[in-house]
Structure 1
């Protein structure tokens, strides 16, 4: 049983409300999951079963919850649960008629820092009313703009680009990366004049707004505005995306040690890990396979810009490891010279990481509000959470004194996790040029 606004609710009450919700919105109830208490180590077994059920079914379920507090007791926990359900292949909606969107609901139920409850209520009522009539919230999607009444109007120049993307993907059978290259090489830009990326192309191919369907806050309103592509083309694109999604057990490439801390010295973008597999048959008929791993400028990978700046994984990581002891000692000597006395190098390091955690928490809350208002997609929210996790790990590790020379000497005996923790804690960034890598601590 649960106390809700002074009244005791039982599981039967929750089940009845779920049935009523399904009948009202013409949904077919499938199964209910509910935890009264956490199990061992704070794990909620029914929630774990829910995620497992969604993944194994392969169906596109809608997960209905009374409100966002049923996903967690704080905004961060709610966000993590929401993203886990979405990544499993389902959508989430609250049974709260005034606030069905789970992220908006979380900000309402758990409070919005810096915004009064009165203002929050007015914002909620206004946004819900707009959504009911299929009127836009936040930034309009590429290909559309808002008119005075808040509805979508087609921008013809941008619509032509949307049509081109769908045609290249469905008729010409061109992959997303090749589409990105096709657009960027021809000077076709995004709304802000930037270059296209795989993420932006994928978002266009998956968004039903382009067949005239408005979706927001659990609502789905077909024919709410002028379509840019026909339904058959949209379905064909969706089927291709689904067919190219890995099924069953997928062997994932090992992560890269310098992910997130290695940057291109030419454009400033991140160096991302790339894995390539080569297969061939020799003269004897024997099949061979070899895997190549290297770091490459992300601009080149995702936006077809910058040069082909690449390093083999082992070469770059070896160059970085060789520089770390000298870089740290040089910084320590610099501190002694500037202060006129010796000091604990770890103390300022701890302060730096504490500030990084605070900044990461602020960025997460900003990303949460922006995503909830429709100004960003969930990829932006996931990236903010990932940065927060890295900052917390770094802060925790910075509390422990480390013998850098000993770590480097026994590097090959360390686990990947220990190597990664050492790097993100001790190295601020690595600037990578074609023939040189510079470690900054």
Structure 2
């Protein structure tokens, strides 16, 4: 394959205890091409960044690739030569591949750039050496079937590290599997059954659909230990017979809808609406119904509304709902007044140290976007996701940062609100995420907090 070599001398790559020279990098690239039967086309190398932070030789390489209109293999010593952190490595990698270049590292153990980045850069705030030692220790414990971290509900970590049953929790596990396999109850009915009888979770909270679902598909309850790709049967005392566990899996598969394609449209206020009774989030729900009139003609209807998540997932709180068109139409006039009031209060405020609630909300949103990006980068690094998906998460992160900045600028995007009916869904959504901290609703009331 036609190969291009690229390096940055300020990446401080070592050879025999000393920083590599430009000659070292060029010789290594030539050797790599000879060993792997690649055709050397050109080598680009930067000693350091220019005053504006750009790398001149890197820019020349990009121009060369674009003008050649050909596919190249770009060989780098390691990922630090295209970025100083995980995010910059991902951005450069996506840019190069979008321009017809495949990137590979001259590293026998970690040739893939994203895997290499986690190896040489790690995650901010985490020691790579310490992380590797912890992983080795955890793998050694896993080989013995010893518990790692917080044990699943129904078990505790024994003195020897082997999972041991907890008597009062064991009865609840058995009850959940019985309700699911013998009483033919669905997940929400099981949650309702547990919560109505004041059976608490380990932390004393309410059960929800996710915790029950995860319990029903966890092989730990039939005595099987799974970690780091290991699967050790009869590693500890079982709570559920294997036959019952398999029956639960069969039941789950039988209840999955077959051949139905979901085409649910996104909800404009998703993630912003909170129940005024329990303070949990309201979730968007789409219901499709069909019926026949007396004349035999069939009719279909689609109903979209926001419903209290506590009711849906934990079977607590009341059946509080708002039709989506009604709530979304109610919010816009309120938002105009709320933003005007906020601007007036900011102008008259003498307390300059008080952080607005929306700013704190956006800080959290940016952190969440960064966390999702790192998770997707790990997934892409191990081949479980495509680079296009990683690019989407980078775009999401960029949007979060831009909107967080807009949220601190008075009067930003005023034209969007003034022309609300003429802007598209994405613009409306971005505006709401930028300016709304939360929307609190009760059965007869909706309040916007900015």
Q: TM-score, structure 1 length as denominator?
A: 0.66
The alpha-carbon distance between structure 1 residues 179 and 111, as it changes in their structure 2 partners (threshold 3 A), is: same
Native 8 Å contact 1:353 1:394 kept in 2: no
Can you list the C-alpha shifts for 1:221-265, whole angstroms capped at 9, x where unaligned? 111111111222222221222233344561332111111111112
Return the match for 1:146 from 135, 147, 157: 157
Native 8 Å contact 1:131 1:217 kept in 2: yes
Work out the number of aligned pairs and report it. 348
- Measured in 2, the distance between the counterparts of 1:263 and 1:225 equals 43
Deviation at 1:132, TM superposition (A): 0.9
Return the match for 1:175 from 168, 186, 193: 186
Say whether residues 1:254 and 2:262 are aligned partners.
Answer: no
- Measured in 2, the distance between the counterparts of 1:298 and 1:78 equals 38
Which secondary structure does the structure 2 equivalent of 1:295 belong to? strand
Native 8 Å contact 1:364 1:385 kept in 2: no
Matches within 5 A, 1:53-72: none
Native 8 Å contact 2:143 2:230 kept in 1: yes
Deviation at 1:331, TM superposition (A): 0.8
Structure 2 equivalent of residue 16 of structure 1: none
RMSD across aligned positions (CA): 4.5
Return the match for 1:239 from 233, 250, 259: 250
The alpha-carbon distance between structure 1 residues 353 and 160, as it changes in their structure 2 partners (threshold 3 A), is: closer
Deviation at 1:142, TM superposition (A): 0.7
Native 8 Å contact 2:373 2:394 kept in 1: no
Structure 1 equivalent of residue 10 of structure 2: none
Say whether residues 1:305 and 2:313 are aligned partners.
Answer: no
- Measured in 2, the distance between the counterparts of 1:220 and 1:9 equals 41
Structure 1 equivalent of residue 430 of structure 2: 421
The alpha-carbon distance between structure 1 residues 176 and 337, as it changes in their structure 2 partners (threshold 3 A), is: same
Say whether residues 1:439 and 2:443 are aligned partners.
Answer: no
- Measured in 2, the distance between the counterparts of 1:290 and 1:397 equals 39
Which secondary structure does the structure 1 equivalent of 2:349 belong to? helix
Return the match for 1:211 from 192, 213, 222: 222
The alpha-carbon distance between structure 1 residues 351 and 323, as it changes in their structure 2 partners (threshold 3 A), is: closer
The alpha-carbon distance between structure 1 residues 421 and 190, as it changes in their structure 2 partners (threshold 3 A), is: same
Say whether residues 1:430 and 2:439 are aligned partners.
Answer: yes
The alpha-carbon distance between structure 1 residues 357 and 284, as it changes in their structure 2 partners (threshold 3 A), is: closer
Q: TM-score, structure 2 length as denominator?
A: 0.65
- Measured in 2, the distance between the counterparts of 1:211 and 1:78 equals 43
- Measured in 1, the distance between the counterparts of 2:35 and 2:247 equals 42
Structure 1 equivalent of residue 48 of structure 2: none
The alpha-carbon distance between structure 1 residues 429 and 170, as it changes in their structure 2 partners (threshold 3 A), is: same
Deviates more, 1:354-363 or 1:119-128: 354-363
- Measured in 1, the distance between the counterparts of 2:117 and 2:338 equals 45
Structure 2 equivalent of residue 294 of structure 1: 305
The alpha-carbon distance between structure 1 residues 76 and 300, as it changes in their structure 2 partners (threshold 3 A), is: farther
Structure 2 equivalent of residue 158 of structure 1: 169
The alpha-carbon distance between structure 1 residues 8 and 164, as it changes in their structure 2 partners (threshold 3 A), is: farther
Deviation at 1:10, TM superposition (A): 11
The alpha-carbon distance between structure 1 residues 137 and 110, as it changes in their structure 2 partners (threshold 3 A), is: farther
Native 8 Å contact 1:356 1:391 kept in 2: no
Can you list the C-alpha shifts for 1:252-294, whole angstroms capped at 9, x where unaligned? 3211111111111222111111222222222222222222211
Deviation at 1:423, TM superposition (A): 0.6
- Measured in 2, the distance between the counterparts of 1:350 and 1:310 equals 25
Matches within 5 A, 1:68-83: none
- Measured in 2, the distance between the counterparts of 1:11 and 1:256 equals 55
Return the match for 1:267 from 269, 272, 278: 278
Can you list the C-alpha shifts for 1:2-34, whole angstroms capped at 9, x where unaligned? 99x989599999xxxxxxxxxxxxxxxxxxxxx
The alpha-carbon distance between structure 1 residues 385 and 219, as it changes in their structure 2 partners (threshold 3 A), is: farther
Deviation at 1:324, TM superposition (A): 0.9
Which of the pair has more CA radius of gyration? Answer: 2
Say whether residues 1:360 and 2:371 are aligned partners.
Answer: no
